[in-house]
Amino acid sequence: MHFDTIIKNGTVVTASDTFQSDVGIRDGKITALAASLDGAEEIIDAAGLYVMPGGIDSHVHLAQPSGDGIVMADDFASGTLSAAFGGNTTVLTFCMQEKGTTLRQSLTDYHAKAEGECYIDVSFHLVVTDPTSYVLGQELPALVEDGYTSLKVFMTYDNLRLRDDQILETLDSARSSGALVMVHCENEDAIRYLIGKHEQSGDVAPKFHALSRPAAAEREATHRALSLAEIVDTSIVIVHVSNRQAMEEIERARKRGGKVAGETCPQYLLLTADDLDAAELEGAKFVCSPPPRDKESQIACWEGLQTGVFELFSSDHCPFRYDDASGKLNEKGKRSFRWIPNGIPGVETRLPILFSEGVSKGRIDINRFVALSSTNHAKQYGLYPQKGTIAIGADADIALWDPRKEMTITNDILHHGADYTPYEGLEVVGWPVRVLLRGRTIVDGASMTGTRGQGAYLPRKRSSRTRL
């Protein structure tokens, strides 16, 4: 036998091409692409299906310490199970530096949480919250050499945010070592002022979360992040962009020669601030930052996906249970939006939403879908061409996609640990019907055929944008 598995009769789709081809797999790798292949232990008939690289979601929060009795709804087992059913084969999650500790200590703890738990492959971004001279001068360069080649900094959240001088120091260190920096752009001082003002007026319902985090606060911080990156000549990613004003800052920076990539997420295509104004406390289900905006912002985000301002479409999966004292409806959260944990689930619905709303409705073509959902993530974050494409030598991480399958998204068909989905009742066309991880079928229809622990940890090369 030449192959362990052959996928026959499917339509192979990459970020650049669509063609009829069989796919031969051996020892977990794609070893042949040809009109007709024979000689395998296992033949998978993919007639009528797209054969696409498995999704790579480069913005996922799992098992993250959330403080104050708040518990994230997904650990590595449930989060990667959910991701697999959504057509993904790799997720990049965040290892948060606890203030007063080193990055290495945080990594030791975070690796222990993931070890033996994952259904798909994982890799970690660092989150720098305490950029001491030891962290930036000693640890970061060594960690980049060890394959931790990206990091996130926050401009908001009192306990996480960095000052501008700290951001500059972090960007400078990242440039020297070749790390790619992701930036959460919102102006913390403006937000804190508005939160206080709303609370003083007794305006404490979930909808005031959105009103406390206006687009101008995101635009201003986006402009500042881009300027700081320009000053020290560092490549950055502006993550979870929610509106036109922030998007235009990215476009303007690019015109000046700025090295910036943009990311947007499903919530900015489908939700609006009105969702936070749902009856009772239901609006808490949609509390995330930046908040969803309005219909015009949705149109802008689609434009960004079409024109290339956004190269990344990620979930920002950050799940908390709704009806739970350790989640959205914690005792303090019921009294003020300030205490509702920020974040919503979405790792399983990201690809069906982009396919249905994007490809099925004619907003983007199938190759752009693959670029936005897989290939660009691999390229930005140093996994390409091992991951993110259908090519000889690549890992056989493959999603077989039925472009005609009609599904209604409801929480009961999903596998995450949250007790709700923000997209309840959404009808979609197109669904992943089989998923292979390194050549092995891990999802077959509604069944998990893989095993917990089969997912590997992936050290990464430097981003194609920061290679030294």
Q: Interface mask (CB under 6 A) for ligand URP, residues 198-237, using x and -? A: ----------------------------------------
Nearest 5°: the CA angle 458, 34, 55 is: 30
Place of tokens 């622990």: 453
Return the number of the residue (311 or 316) whose C-beta is nearest Zn ion: 316
CB of 370 within 8 A of CB of 14? yes
CB of 237 within 8 A of CB of 171? no
* Lookup: tokens for 103: 């990055």
CB of 20 to Zn ion, least distance (A): 38
For residue 184, state whether it binds Zn ion (rule: CB under 5 A).
yes
| Closest CA relative to residue 75, chosen from 102, 115, 105, 103 | 115
For residue 318, state whether it binds ligand URP (rule: CB under 6 A).
yes
CB of 165 to ligand URP, least distance (A): 22
How far apart (Å, rounded) are the C-alpha atoms in residues 332 and 328? 10
How many CB atoms lie under 10 A from the CB of residue 165? 10
How many CB atoms lie under 10 A from the CB of residue 171? 26
Return the number of the residue (240 or 377) whose C-beta is nearest ligand URP: 240
Q: Interface mask (CB under 5 A) for Zn ion, residues 53-72, using x and -? A: --------------------
Among the listed residues 125, 184, 198, 438, the single contact to ligand URP using CB under 6 A? 184
Return the number of the residue (178 or 206) whose C-beta is nearest ligand URP: 206
Name, in order, each residue with C-beta under 8 angstroms of 189's C-beta and a sequence gap of 6 or more. none
How many CB atoms lie under 10 A from the CB of residue 216? 13
Instruction: Quote the radius of gyration of the chain (alpha carbons, Å).
Output: 21
Place of tokens 């030891």: 134
For residue 243, state whether it binds ligand URP (rule: CB under 6 A).
no
CB of 236 within 8 A of CB of 226? yes
Return the number of the residue (75 or 365) whose C-beta is nearest ligand URP: 75
Among the listed residues 8, 61, 175, 285, the single contact to ligand URP using CB under 6 A? 61
Return the number of the residue (127 or 409) whose C-beta is nearest ligand URP: 127
> Site size for ligand URP, by CB under 6 A?
9
Among the listed residues 82, 97, 234, 342, the single contact to ligand URP using CB under 6 A? 342
CB of 345 to ligand URP, least distance (A): 11
For residue 218, the partner it binds in ligand URP, Zn ion, none, with Cβ less than 5 to 8 A by kind, is none
- Consecutive H or E run containing 211: helix 207-212
CB of 188 to ligand URP, least distance (A): 12
How far apart (Å, rounded) are the C-alpha atoms in residues 393 and 4? 15
Among the listed residues 289, 298, 315, 421, the single contact to ligand URP using CB under 6 A? 289
Question: Residue type for 353, please?
Answer: I
CB of 19 within 8 A of CB of 429? no
- Return the residues of window 16-35 that contact ligand URP according to CB under 6 A: none
Return the number of the residue (333 or 343) whose C-beta is nearest ligand URP: 343
Binding region for Zn ion (CB under 5 A) out of 217-225, 308-316, 325-333, 355-363: 308-316
CB of 337 within 8 A of CB of 206? yes
Return the number of the residue (177 or 242) whose C-beta is nearest Zn ion: 242
CA atoms within 13 A on the CB side of 161: 15
Strand partners, 88: 55
Binding region for Zn ion (CB under 5 A) out of 108-116, 184-192, 292-300, 432-440: 184-192
For residue 343, state whether it binds ligand URP (rule: CB under 6 A).
yes
CB of 240 to Zn ion, least distance (A): 6
| Closest CA relative to residue 150, chosen from 169, 171, 164, 166 | 171
How far apart (Å, rounded) are the C-alpha atoms in residues 58 and 38? 35
Return the number of the residue (57 or 316) whose C-beta is nearest Zn ion: 316
For residue 316, state whether it binds Zn ion (rule: CB under 5 A).
yes
CB of 118 to Zn ion, least distance (A): 19
For residue 317, state whether it binds Zn ion (rule: CB under 5 A).
no
How far apart (Å, rounded) are the C-alpha atoms in residues 89 and 83? 7
Return the number of the residue (263 or 275) whose C-beta is nearest Zn ion: 263
At residue 117, the 3 state secondary structure works out as coil
How far apart (Å, rounded) are the C-alpha atoms in residues 95 and 127? 6
For residue 57, the partner it binds in Zn ion, ligand URP, none, with Cβ less than 5 to 8 A by kind, is none
Residues of the shown chain interacting with Zn ion in the complex, contacts defined by CB under 5 A? 184, 316
Residues of the shown chain interacting with ligand URP in the complex, contacts defined by CB under 6 A? 61, 184, 240, 288-289, 316, 318, 342-343
